[in-house]
């Protein structure tokens, strides 16, 4: 039996067999490039999706609500544009709440950061039972804000509180912790400091632990004392963490709500609004006056204030870092010039 071959005809297998490896190679190369370029975006996409749903959308929706005459029960009303913002800016209670917020923020944030830095510096030393002390300072943060407010509101009670009883035992007059403006701010700031100082101290301690020990040892061999090493090595090394703590403390301090609300549960910030913060005023505007439009305008004004203060903090920290870099560069150049002059004189 013989086979007959027809000249000029080729089988499909002969024409496609050389191209298959090329297509597979190109497909693998394309998938590899897609993996390199698209995978990082796919990994971070869940965060931005969640942020868009729970962060960005409420922010945009709040701005839309602020442009309408929006009632809690009746819902959306007429479009009023920026009239809600103008009405809020002309409201004396808004400015009073803003003053109270900044006053409590200053009384709480500055002592809190100083105390947190001092505690972190102590815990950074080689002390006994360091793990116990480090975990102990986090205990106030675990307690709920409502419990903290209830405890401190009883301590600062004007009639039967612990603080006034101690003052009267020493022959001093009782202080109107809830009726006077400045004492009420000090009492609320004390709650904030008690709860957040340990938390910030742990963050600063983690940054201090990352500073190389050989730098401290070299400085100690050169004769630098503990304070000199702390201000010249430790603080400049933890500046990014310090900026982070300042910004988070700023955001938390300007959004304070639970402490003043629980300090006097019968009123929304005191009988004379002496410790009514901006968020507390926002809450009163939304759920007592049922004016969601102006409440949303207050929320957006507070958002813009926080963003502005955050930018100021960032610019200040960057200018300080730039100035320190220039000073260190100048010192290095002077030392190099002095060293070269000595070499030339020899």
Grouping H, G, I as helix, E, B as strand and the rest as coil, residue 79 is strand
Q: Is 294 exposed, middle or buried, given 0-12, 13-18 or 19+ CB atoms closer than 10 A? A: buried
Is residue 207 a contact partner of residue 241, using CB atoms and an 8 Å limit?
yes
pTM, to two decimals: 0.76
Grouping H, G, I as helix, E, B as strand and the rest as coil, residue 291 is strand
Residue 326 contacts by C-beta under 8 Å, 6 or more apart in sequence?
none
Is residue 45 a contact partner of residue 56, using CB atoms and an 8 Å limit?
no
Q: Please state, in angstroms and rounded to a whole number, the distance separating the CA atoms of residues 176 and 161.
A: 11
List per-residue pLDDT tens for the chain, 346 residues long: 444 444 444 444 444 455 566 788 888 888 888 888 888 888 889 988 998 888 889 889 999 999 988 887 777 888 888 889 999 999 899 999 999 999 998 888 888 889 999 999 888 888 888 888 888 888 888 888 778 888 888 888 877 888 888 888 888 888 888 888 899 999 999 888 888 888 899 999 998 888 888 888 888 887 778 888 888 888 888 888 888 888 888 888 888 888 888 888 777 788 888 888 999 999 998 888 888 899 999 999 999 998 888 888 778 777 776 766 676 677 667 777 777 777 777 6
Q: Please state, in angstroms and rounded to a whole number, the distance separating the CA atoms of residues 279 and 263.
A: 15
The two three-digit tokens of residue 22, written as one number? 């090329």
At residue 346, the pLDDT reads 67
Q: Please state, in angstroms and rounded to a whole number, the distance separating the CA atoms of residues 66 and 79.
A: 9
């Amino acid at each position: 039996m013989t086979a007959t071959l027809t000249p000029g005809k080729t089988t499909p297998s002969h024409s496609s067999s050389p191209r298959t490896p090329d297509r597979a190679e190109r497909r693998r190369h394309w998938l590899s490039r897609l993996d390199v370029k698209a995978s990082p975006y796919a990994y971070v996409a869940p965060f931005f999706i969640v942020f868009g749903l729970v962060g960005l959308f409420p922010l945009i929706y709040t701005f839309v609500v602020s442009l309408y005459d929006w009632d809690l029960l009746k819902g959306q009303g007429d479009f009023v544009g920026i009239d809600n913002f103008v009405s809020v800016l002309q409201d004396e209670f808004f400015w009073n709440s803003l003053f109270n917020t900044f006053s409590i923020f200053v009384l709480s944030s500055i002592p809190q950061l100083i105390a947190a830095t001092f505690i972190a510096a102590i815990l950074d030393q080689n002390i006994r039972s360091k793990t116990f002390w480090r975990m102990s300072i986090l205990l106030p943060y675990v307690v709920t804000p409502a419990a903290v407010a209830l405890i401190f509101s009883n301590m600062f009670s004007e009639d039967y509180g612990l603080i006034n009883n101690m003052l009267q035992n020493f022959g001093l007059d009782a202080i109107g912790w809830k009726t006077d403006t400045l004492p009420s701010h000090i009492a609320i700031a004390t709650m904030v400091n008690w709860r957040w100082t340990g938390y910030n101290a742990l963050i600063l301690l983690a940054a201090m632990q990352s500073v190389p020990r050989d730098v401290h040892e070299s400085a100690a061999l050169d004769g630098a004392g503990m304070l000199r090493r702390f201000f010249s090595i430790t603080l400049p090394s933890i500046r990014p963490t310090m900026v982070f703590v300042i910004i988070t403390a700023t955001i938390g301090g300007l959004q304070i709500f639970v402490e003043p609300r629980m300090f006097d549960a019968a009123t929304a910030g005191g009988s004379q609004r002496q410790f009514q913060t901006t968020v507390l005023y926002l809450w009163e505007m939304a759920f007592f006056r049922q004016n969601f439009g102006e409440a949303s305008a207050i929320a957006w004004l507070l958002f813009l204030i926080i963003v502005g203060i955050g930018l100021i903090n960032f610019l200040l920290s960057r200018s300080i870092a730039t100035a320190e870099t220039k000073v260190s560069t100048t010192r290095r150049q002077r030392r190099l010039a002095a060293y070269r002059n000595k070499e030339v004189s020899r």
